[in-house]
């Protein structure tokens, strides 16, 4: 098992880190982009993983010179996502870490998903009862790469940021952890990336 004993708290991102849902979100974004005239670039959209939907719309509007209403785009993207009827599955490597340290140190989740979506996914996968704090896009003013999400989790689990480690699957999330003064372990394609 990964030795995290030098830390006092663990913070996980959700989509793409604990729960394998990035694929379905990217599918929903692809449908949304085609419907609304945004060019769709898979790698670029993946790089925005962790950015709240409304902020993603602002980024796309600016990048492509469009002016779609963020709330309307978010609703349409959510409808496309629901239509995919995706069943969330856990990412075994990171959930094994969560299970191992559950009860040994405080564990929180900091996600760019909205609160209702996060609670639904964490409940469906049986993870909701294993975490001590949940901070979502609905709870912060500044989404990732701003550190507010992870700093809020650290505050809720009552651990100083420098004593927390974050698990993330995107560079934006990595930047958020670093900006908050926390170490970050990247997860790529469901595998924990350990520096040699």
pLDDT of residue 86: 75
d(CA 178, CA 88): 28
Do residues 106 and 172 share a domain? yes
CATH number at 182 reads 3.40.50.1000
Instruction: Single out the residue in 52, 69, 84 at which a domain terminates.
Output: 84
Q: What is the pTM of this model?
A: 0.81
SS3 103: coil
The yes-or-no verdict on residue 133 having pLDDT over 90 is yes
pLDDT of residue 89: 87
The yes-or-no verdict on residue 131 having pLDDT over 60 is yes
Do residues 75 and 98 share a domain? no
pLDDT tens string 183-192: 999 998 889 9
pLDDT of residue 195: 63
Strands (DSSP E) found in the chain: 9-12, 19-20, 89-90, 107-110, 133-135, 164-168, 183-188, 191-193
DSSP code for 149: H
Q: How many domains does the chain have?
A: 2
Mean pLDDT computed over every residue of the chain: 93
pLDDT of residue 62: 96
pLDDT tens string 22-55: 678 889 999 999 999 999 999 899 888 778 888 8
pLDDT of residue 96: 97
Do residues 102 and 80 share a domain? no
pLDDT of residue 196: 40
**How is the chain split among helix, strand and coil, in percent rounded to 5?**
50, 15, 35
d(CA 52, CA 187): 19
Q: Residue 176 is inside which H or E element, if any?
A: helix 171-179
Do residues 128 and 48 share a domain? no
How confident is the model over 110-126, as a mean pLDDT?
A: 92
Identify which of 84, 25, 31, 77 has the alpha carbon closest to the alpha carbon of residue 54. 77
Does 146 or 194 have the greater pLDDT score?
Answer: 146
The yes-or-no verdict on residue 66 having pLDDT over 60 is yes
Domain span including residue 165? 9-21+88-193
How confident is the model over 85-107, as a mean pLDDT?
A: 93
Among 13, 20, 114, 169, the one annotated catalytic: 13
Pairing mode of beta strands 191-193, 183-188:
antiparallel
User: Active-site residue 132, yes or no?
Assistant: no
Do residues 159 and 140 share a domain? yes
3: in domain: no
Do residues 173 and 127 share a domain? yes
pLDDT of residue 117: 86
Do residues 93 and 155 share a domain? yes
């Amino acid at each position: 098992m990964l030795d995290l004993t030098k830390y006092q708290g663990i913070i996980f991102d959700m989509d793409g880190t604990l729960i394998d849902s990035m694929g379905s979100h990217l599918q929903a974004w692809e449908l949304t982009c085609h419907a609304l005239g945004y060019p769709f670039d898979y790698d670029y959209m993946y790089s925005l993983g962790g950015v709240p939907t409304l902020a993603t719309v602002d980024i796309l509007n600016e990048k492509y010179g469009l002016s779609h209403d963020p709330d309307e785009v978010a609703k349409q993207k959510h409808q496309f996502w629901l239509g995919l009827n995706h069943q969330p599955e856990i990412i075994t490597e990171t959930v094994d870490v969560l299970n191992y340290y559950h009860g040994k140190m405080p564990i929180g989740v900091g996600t760019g998903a909205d609160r209702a979506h996060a609670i639904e996914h964490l409940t469906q996968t049986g993870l909701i009862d294993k975490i001590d704090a949940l901070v979502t896009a609905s709870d912060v003013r500044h989404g990732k790469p701003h550190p507010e999400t992870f700093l809020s989790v650290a505050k809720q689990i009552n651990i100083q940021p420098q004593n927390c480690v974050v698990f993330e699957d995107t560079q934006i999330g990595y930047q958020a952890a670093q900006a908050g003064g926390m170490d970050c372990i990247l997860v790529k394609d469901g595998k924990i990336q350990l520096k040699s």
